[in-house]
Structure 1
């Protein structure tokens, strides 16, 4: 090695050392700002679900209409998340963060004082727009400021946030509804958003490379129609029925628009969403595994409380308490799981996780009207440990398989897939549960608890089949070669 090369190497090592020192100094507050914002958004995603029955009476609207407070949230995420890939290249990290927090705060404040249903629905859409920016932005910052051997631990904590938010939402909201009015489901999150705003302004640097990219209007329209149509179609299928013209029409139009969107992206020099990421086999395996994980997880978080309340006849707040140990244990172990991923690689963490999820579904599928609560607690702990091991680790490995310049696109693709999987999962599984309930009630005695148990057993068996597919996929996962 000549002297010039040695000098350049020393300069490079010094720069890396300085960068690491800076990151060690700022990483905690940066992640605190982003994780708190993400937690509040994901908490808001499910917290209001437990109050929908009360809100339907308060605002004098039908159950189908009030359901739009949940559907509208998912729909907004499905439409906006794909656009964030290009926005993260066009605007600075701080600009994106401040926009995200501002939208979340404005939406939350409007929701907290909303006197009519229409204003509450608008507030939910604004809240979801804030989360649609926050989730991809957090992943992008993690993959920019952490080296590959530290990303697992950071993504483990993000996995904690992504699980704890939706899981704790109904429990905390149930407690709030028992003691205060529904408005406090929103007021209680305001201090956390202000904390996130303060830490973000003080500590969050601009970590992304801003490029002069133009936003292609046709791509945005096709993406909106595509993802929006698919999510909308599946979301309303439970009420309208799978054979209704509006359901089939929106799903067919949605898929057609997505095909046109994909074709357009492959022919553009600067695509809105760079689909070349799909040329990486590890990325494709990760995306499929991620879809199954979110499909199963979010539908399970809806079906399990329904089963407990309708089959076992226990109160909403008790339901939340039964599910709390699994959620809390997952929160405690999430950083450790991330560190194990960094140390031993994906297969050592993801494969055991997928096996635990499959075992959980084996027990879930056997539940009936006389299942003991302790059995549900233990099974849920096994399930949440499995999901905790799979969720963040699959995302980390999926994105690690891409070159750095594809991170914004890879993040936008994976986040979109997750939101769409959640929306489709909830719609499909709830529809199947209802269909099984109705067929059971039509052929046997009018026994709703037994009918719900039969429906739950069916959907948990479907979850088991998907979980086994994930076990097989995990065997093909490996640590990506460094780019």
Structure 2
């Protein structure tokens, strides 16, 4: 391995990053359309089938803390490369699943490899790209993550309509192989720090904490929110999370360097971007369920209806990256959150016969807001982090966002089921029979969108706290010449 200080080639590196990030997020967005299909295929209820998505996101979130350790030890290119290889292998196994339990198990393993991709690619951007290109690079990174939900539902609907649900996973394999080749050829092999011992206690604590909290949120409706199992898991999750934080702050070689939270800008923008992520997932979860369960559209039609708003988000992401240097994070985050609030509130007014144009319009408004706020918050949060800590900062960022997203999906699903049952009872008691099931389900979707609106409002004050960037003395590590780099 030889040391080089050649200029980083922007587009080849970003192309390699683009493919992997796209595929990683496609693993989330492609399955939303398939939830009703999987319920019929395996004769399962929504509470069980949602683990195909929630289990993926849980493992995607809890494995993120490992990225900093693995990246320091092996280099982020190798982490990214092997993560994509694992993703492809488990995509094949998901396609070959024989029952719901095997599919959930393989999805959890697939999510573990996928969870290494986003923090690894974010770290590569902040370690190899010159500072003046990082905002645009982050918008391309964000574009890859938004094109997946843009095309994912449509691709999924077409595959289900013309083939069958296993093709949702077969589809990943050729794209994954192309991504692996691009990673090997286009990303420089480098390391900016040496490997450290693995904090096994910290890893065990964060996995058990996240699993306990998510299981309580997912099953609390079934067990009862005041039952011993639910309260016990919630208490265990909180205690283990507290132990993890104490452990990481005291450990000589922490799994996650939580001292990155000492940077106020990083902390406040992470809160904003986590809430923005929750808002994004609320729409991608609820709209396909509403269209298929209430308006009885096919999976393909549901994907086509969702496509325009998702494409608008994808197109707005690079524009947000270009606007960022001129506008700065504060007003881009606040403006984006306001659009999310407006769009989410309008989606609380759905009716069983609501027009597709109404759904497209207000989902587009939400998605423009997501593009603006997410790009600004993600870039602002990482700008002040020293190069040697970017791996830990990106791991922390993706851990918090993805675990928050998995909790949100579990909570939204539980709310949707419980409110649908409650509204159905109220309509029956009132003598309503014709169209009662569709109306009850629509009312529950509106309730969950209202919950998502309230959650989004919490992000506003944090957006206002995202001030101007402090000037860092350190130069970009890999752009200035990494400790180890090969073309």
Unmatched runs of 5 consecutive residues or more in structure 1: 1-14
Taking the TM superposition and a 5 Å limit, the aligned residue runs for 1:215-364 are 215-364=198-347
Bigger shift: 389-398 or 368-377? 368-377
| Greater share of residues in helix | 1
Query: Are 1:467 and 2:456 matched, yes or no?
Result: yes
By relative contact order (CA 8 Å, sep 6+), the higher-ranking structure is 2
Q: CA 1:113/1:439 → structure 2, altered by over 3 Å: closer, same or farther?
A: closer
In the TM superposition, residue 61 of structure 1 has moved relative to its aligned partner by 5.8
Q: 1:37–1:196: 8 Å Cα contact kept in structure 2?
A: yes
Take 1:356 and 1:161, find their aligned partners in 2: how far apart are those partners? Answer: 22
Aligned pairs for 1:75-474 within 5 A: 75-444=58-427, 445-446=432-433, 447-474=436-463
Q: State the distance in 2 between where 1:442 and 1:57 align.
A: 24
**Cα drift, residue 328 of structure 1:** 0.8
* C-alpha deviation, 1:60, in angstroms: 5.9
Equivalents in 2 of 1:120, 1:341: separation in Å?
A: 41
What do you get for the CA RMSD once the two structures are aligned?
2.3
Give the conservation status (yes or no) of the 8 Å contact 2:157–2:301. no
Deviates more, 1:225-234 or 1:268-277: 225-234
TM-score after normalising by structure 2: 0.89
Q: Which whole-Å CA distance do the structure 2 matches of 1:66 and 1:351 have between them?
A: 35
| Residues 144 and 208 in structure 1, CA contact (< 8 A), matched pair in contact too | no
Q: Give CA deviations for 1:308-353 in whole Å, capped at 9, x if unaligned.
A: 3344443332222121111112212211211111333212422221
- Alignment-derived partner of residue 479 in structure 1: 468
Q: Distance in 1 between matches of 2:219 and 2:463?
A: 33
- Relative distance call for 1:408 and 1:35 in structure 2 (3 A) is same
In the aligned structure 1, how far is the partner of 2:337 from the partner of 2:45? 39
Asked whether the equivalents of residues 234 and 423 of structure 1 are also in contact (C-alpha less than 8 Å), the reply is no
2:7 is aligned with 1:22? yes
What SS does the aligned partner of 1:207 have?
strand
Alignment length, in residue pairs? 464
Once residues 183 and 437 of structure 1 are traced to their aligned partners in structure 2, the CA distance between those partners, rounded to angstroms, is: 30
Q: Distance in 1 between matches of 2:348 and 2:46?
A: 28
In structure 1, the partner of 2:485 is none
**Superposed CA offset, 1:35-81 (max 9, x none):** 21121121122323433444455456665544432232122113211
- Alpha-carbon distance between aligned partners in 1 of 2:43 and 2:320, rounded to the nearest angstrom: 46
Contact 2:33 2:303 in 1 (8 A): no
Specify which of 12, 16, 36 is matched with residue 19 of structure 2: 36
Contact 1:141/1:207, CA 8 A, preserved across alignment: no
Task: Name the TM-score, length of structure 1 as normaliser.
Answer: 0.89
Structure 1 residues 302 and 58: CA distance shift in structure 2, 3 A: closer
- What SS does the corresponding residue of 1:22 show, helix, strand or coil? coil
Distance 2:443 2:85 in 1: 45
What SS does structure 1 have at the residue aligned with 2:468?
A: coil
Aligned to 2:477: none
Residues 49-60 of structure 1: pairs in structure 2 closer than 5 A: 49-56=32-39, 58-59=41-42
Q: 1:158 Cα shift?
A: 1.6
Would the alpha carbon gap of residues 211 and 425 (structure 1) be closer, same or farther in structure 2, given more than 3 Å must change? same
1:341, 1:348 within 8 Å by CA — same for their partners in 2? no
Tell me how far 1:463 sits from its aligned partner: 2.2
1:69 aligns with 2:52: yes
Deviations 1:369-389 (A, max 9, x none): 332221211111111111111
Contact 1:369 1:450 in 2 (8 A): yes
Equivalent residues of 1:75, 1:232 under 8 A apart: no
Shift of 1:167: 4.4
Moved more, 390-399 or 452-461: 452-461
